[in-house]
Chain A
Amino acid sequence: MRTVSIAVACLLLCACAPRRDTEPGVLLIEEKEQTASFIRNFNPLLEVGDVRWPATRSMYEPLLIYNGVTGAYVPWLATAYEFSDDHRRLRFDLRRGVRWSDGAPFTAKDVVFTFDLLRRFEALDLRGVWAFVSDARALDDYTVELTFRRVFIPGLYYLAQQPIVPAHVWSQVADPVAWTNPDPVATGPFTEVTHFETQAYQVDRNPYYWQLPDRPKVEAIRFLAFPSNDQASFALIRGEVDWAGSFVPAIDRIFVGRDRAHHHYWFPPIDGGVLLYANTTRAPYDDVRVRKALSLAIDRPLVVKVGMYGYTRPADATGLNDSYRRYRDDAAVAAGDWVGHDPARAARLLDEAGLTRGRGGIRRLPDGTPWRVAIQVPTGWSDWVRSTQVIVRNLRAVGIDAQLKTIDFNAWYEHVQQGEFGLSLGWAEPYPTPYGYYRAMMSSGTRKPVGEAAPENWHRFALPRADELLAQLEETTDPAVEHQLTAELQRLFVEHAPAIPLFPGPLWGAFNTSRFTGFPDEHDPYAPLSPNLNPQALMVLTRLVPR
C-alpha cells in the first residue's frame, strides 16, 4: 500500500508541468463548433459538412468582405466592383500580385472556375447564386464579369463572399462534394497545416500571402478540441485561449473579474434576432390582435435579464437588430406600441378578439375549447429554455394555459419548418440589409404550405404589399430609395405583427490581450469580434499583433 501511495504522490507532483503549451506568436482560437476529435477536412465549399474553421476564415478568401459593423464592403481579392448601367452585369476588378500558397498566380481564371464549379455541382452552391446569375466569364486576367438573369442588387452579397478556389488544383478533383481537401492550396493568411491531431491542430502562415510583410503579424493559429461549452469557457477563464466565440454565463464575474486588464468581451446585438413565432395558419394566431396581445403580455426586460444574462436588449416592434441600425425608422418604432409589458391591455385585446376567460380563468378559443398551448424549444438550449419559462408565466397571467415543451433539436427543426406548431421560439437569419429579414418575415416568396419544409417564414405569413416593396428593393441601388422602401416595410411589420420579436441575438466574442492585441471592441469597432463569422474573421486575423 505504501508504495502505491508514494507512486500516486509522485505522479501528482510531477504532473505540475507548465500548463500553457504554446509558443509566442501562435494564436489560440476557440470556435463555436464543438467537437472532441477533429477530422481533417478543409473543403471551403462544403460548409454543411464537418469542415474545419480555417477553411473559410483563414485559407480561402472571398472577393469582398461585408463588414456588418460598418455596413460597408471591404475590398479583398477584388479591389473594386461595378454594376453596369442596366444592373444586369456585375464586374469585379481583381487584385494584382496575389499568389496561391503553392506560388501560382491568382487570376480571373480561378474566379470563373469557382463559379463554374458551383454550377456543375449544385450541392456546393450554398448561396444559390446560379438562381440569379446566368454567366460568369473573364474579360481579361484581372477582370471578371457576372451576368444576371434579372436585376437583383442583393445578389452582390452572395457573389462577393463566395470563397474562391484555385483552378489548377480543383480541376483535378473528381468529386468536390466528397473531397476533404487535406492539404489546402489557398490565398489566405494561414494555409500551411503543420500539425494535425484529433485533439489539436495548427495552421502556419502562407509564405506567399499578399498582405505580407505588413500582415499578418501572428505567426500561426492553433485550435484545441472542446466537446462542450463548459470546457471552452474553462479554457478561456484559465487564459488558455486568446480569442473565443461561444456563450459564457455571467462573463463579467467569471471571466473579466479574473484579470480586468487583459480579459475583455464584446457582445454587440447584431446577430439574427430571437422571436416568438405564432403559426398564422391556425386560430387564434391568424388574428393580429391576438399576436399583439401575446406580445404585450411578455415582460421582455425580464426575459433578457433571466434568459440572456442581460447580454442584449429587448426588441423593438420592427424586430431589427443593431446591424440594421441605419435603416431603423423612428416613426415605425414609435408606432410599435405592442412590445411594452402591459398585461391589462393584452387582456383587453384578447377580450375584443372574443377569447374570453372561461372556467378556471382560462380563455376559450373560438371553438369553445380552453386555450392550451405548448411553446416548443429545442432541448438543451438553456438560454431559450429560461426565456420561455418567463414567457410561459407571462402568458398564464393573462389567462392562456401555456406550457414549455422541450424537444430534440431535429424534431423541433422539422416541426417549425413544416409549420406543425402553435407557438415556438425561433431565430431570424442575419442578413446584410433588412431586405432578407423582411423577406423571411412576410413575403409570399418564402411562405410554403403547411407540411412542406420552409427554411424561413415558419409562421407562414405574407402580404401582397410587402412583395411589391421587396421586388422594388431588389432593383434599387439608390440609398435614399432603399431607405424609404425599408421604412415602409418596417411600418407594415409593426402594423401586422407577423411574428413577435423578443430580443436581437448577441454575437459572442471574448478575448485575452495578455499575448495579442488589436481585437475589435466597442472602442475600435473595425469588424465584428466573433471568430465564428466567415469570412469576417479574416479582417481580425490580419489585424492582430503579438505583444
Chain B
Amino acid sequence: MRYLARRLMLYLVAAWASLTLAFIVPRLMPGDPATAMFARFHGKLSPEAIDRLRATFGFTDAPLWDQYVTYLGNVLTGDLGVSVSYFPARVSDVITTGLAWTLFLTGFAVVLAWAIGTTLGIAAAWRRGRWIDTVAPPLLLFIGAFPFFWLAMLLLFVFGFTLGWTPVRHAYASHLTPEASLGFAWSVITHAFLPAITIVVATIGGWMLDMRNTMVGVLGEDYITLAHAKGLAPRRVMFRYAARNALLPNLTSFGMALGFVLSGSLLTEIVFSYPGQGYLLIQAVRSLDYPLIQGLFLTITFAVLAANLFVDLIYVWLDPRARTRSVA
C-alpha cells in the first residue's frame, strides 16, 4: 500500500506542477487574451468592456499570488475561462464537445493495439524462427513507419471513398442524437472502426517487437526451464510463467505511449472529421487562443497522468514484488 501511496503523491505533485506551468506560461507571453480579443473587434471595444473581458479571462491587476489562488479554485471547479477563438463560449464547454470522443477513440485504439501487438509478440517469441517471427515484425514496423495521417488518408480513400465500405466522417451518423440505444452504439462503432484501425496498424509493430524481445529474454531464465521440466502444459508456461513477467516493462511503456498516441491521433481525427480534440488544438494554436490551449493541455496532461496511475494499479496486481515491498 505504501507503494501506491507513494505513486499517488508523485501524481499529485505532477498535476500541481502542470497546473502551475499552465498558469505561468500565458502570463509570460507578450499581450494577453483580452488584447487578442480586442484586436478581433478591430479596436471597437470600450475600455470598460476590455476590463470586463480581462477579468473574464482571469487577468486582473490583483497580485500574482491572488490570481494564482483564484485560478486554482477555478480549475478545481472546472472553470477554465472564455475561449478567444470560440468567443463567447466557455473553454470548458468547448473542450467537453470533443474530450469524450478523443478519449474513446484513442483509448479504444491504444488498448486494441497493445492487446493485439502483445499477443503477437508472445506468439512470435514462443515460435522463434517460424513465419510469425520472421515475417510479421518487419512488415508491421514498415507499416508503422508511415505517419498516422498518411495511413489515415490512404485507408479513407480506399475503404471509404473508392469501396464505400465504411463511413467517411464523424463519430456517428449525422441524423442521430447521442442516446443509449443499440442503433446509436452501432453507428459509433462503425464510425470509429477506420480511424481506430489507422492507429492500431501504425502502432502494433512496436508493441509486438517490444514484447517479443522481453519475452525471448524471459524464456532463457532458469525457472522457465524448470517449469518445462516439471511437465507443465506449454500453454501454462507460455502465459503464466513467461508472458506475465515479460509484460511488466511493456505495461510501463503502455502508460507512456498513451500521451504519444493522443498527440498523434489529432491528425487522424482531422482526416476523418472526428469531432475530438485534434482540430480544437490546431485551431487554438492558430488563433493564439491561450485559454483554450491551456485547457486542452491540462486535459491531455490529466488524461496521461490518469492512465499512468491506472497502469500502476495493474502493476501491483501483476507483480507480487510491488505488493510485498509495501508490506515490508
Contact = CB atoms under 8 A, between A and B. Distances in A.
Most A C-beta atoms less than 10 A away, residue of B83, B93, B159, B170: B170
A231 to B, nearest CB: 5
A16 B166 CA distance: 6
A39 B97 contact: yes
Contacts of A410: 286-288
Interface string B71-88: 000000000001101111
A235 interface: yes
Given A15-B190, A50-B86, A226-B273, A37 B166 contact: no
Interface residues of A, number: 49
A36 B175 contact: no
Interface size class of B (residues with CB under 8 A): 35 or more
A253 interface: no
A11 B87 contact: no
Interface stretch (A176-184, A382-390, A423-431): A176-184
A48 B41 contact: yes
Contacts of B94: 37, 39
Nearest to A237: B161
A37 B167 contact: no
Contacts of A35: 279, 283
A238 B164 CA distance: 10
B173 A36 contact: no
A11 B189 contact: yes
Given A122-B44, A234-B168, A41 B89 contact: yes
A409 B49 contact: no
A220 to B, nearest CB: 11
A6 interface: no
A414 B40 CA distance: 12
A227 interface: yes
Contact of B42 (A37, A199, A455): A455
Interface string A161-188: 0000000000000000111100000000
B273 A225 contact: yes
Chain A interface, >50% SS class:
loop
A231 B273 contact: yes
A9 B274 CA distance: 23
A39 B45 contact: no
A338 B35 CA distance: 42
A199 B174 contact: yes
Contacts, number: 142
A49 B166 contact: no
B121 interface: no
B181 interface: no
Nearest to B197: A8
Contacts of B165: 12-13, 15-16
Contacts of A177: 45, 49, 88
A39 B279 contact: no
B193 interface: yes
B88 A198 contact: no
A36 B276 contact: yes
Interface in B28-44: 40-42, 44
Interface stretch (A17-25, A65-73, A362-370, A395-403): A17-25
A14 interface: yes
Interface in B163-201: 164-175, 177-178, 186, 189-190, 193
A200 B170 contact: yes
B164 A37 contact: no
Nearest to B178: A197
Interface string A281-316: 000000000000000000000000000000000000
B278 to A, nearest CB: 7
A301 B272 CA distance: 37
Interface string A118-154: 0001110110100000000000000000000000000
A455 B40 CA distance: 11
A371 to B, nearest CB: 33
A228 interface: yes
Nearest to A28: B174
Interface string A204-246: 0000000000000000001011111001001100100000000
A126 B44 CA distance: 8
A195 interface: yes
Nearest to B95: A37
Contact of B98 (A37, A122, A200, A231): A37
Contacts of B279: 35-37, 227
Contact of B275 (A13, A36, A126, A128): A36
B194 to A, nearest CB: 9
Nearest to A179: B88
Given A14-B186, A14-B190, A15-B166, 10 more contacts: A19-B167, A22-B175, A37-B279, A39-B89, A39-B93, A50-B85, A177-B45, A180-B88, A195-B175, A234-B168
Closest 10 CB pairs of A and B: A36-B279, A200-B174, A178-B88, A49-B87, A198-B97, A50-B86, A15-B190, A227-B279, A199-B275, A37-B97
Interface of B: 40-42, 44-46, 49, 56, 82-83, 85-89, 93-94, 97-98, 159, 161, 164-175, 177-178, 186, 189-190, 193, 269-271, 273-276, 278-280, 283, 286-288
12 contacts: A12-B165, A21-B175, A39-B86, A39-B97, A48-B42, A122-B46, A197-B174, A226-B169, A227-B269, A238-B168, A410-B286, A410-B288
Interface of A: 11-17, 19, 21-23, 35-37, 39, 41, 43, 46, 48-50, 121-123, 125-126, 128, 177-180, 195, 197-200, 222, 224-228, 231, 234-235, 238, 409-410, 455
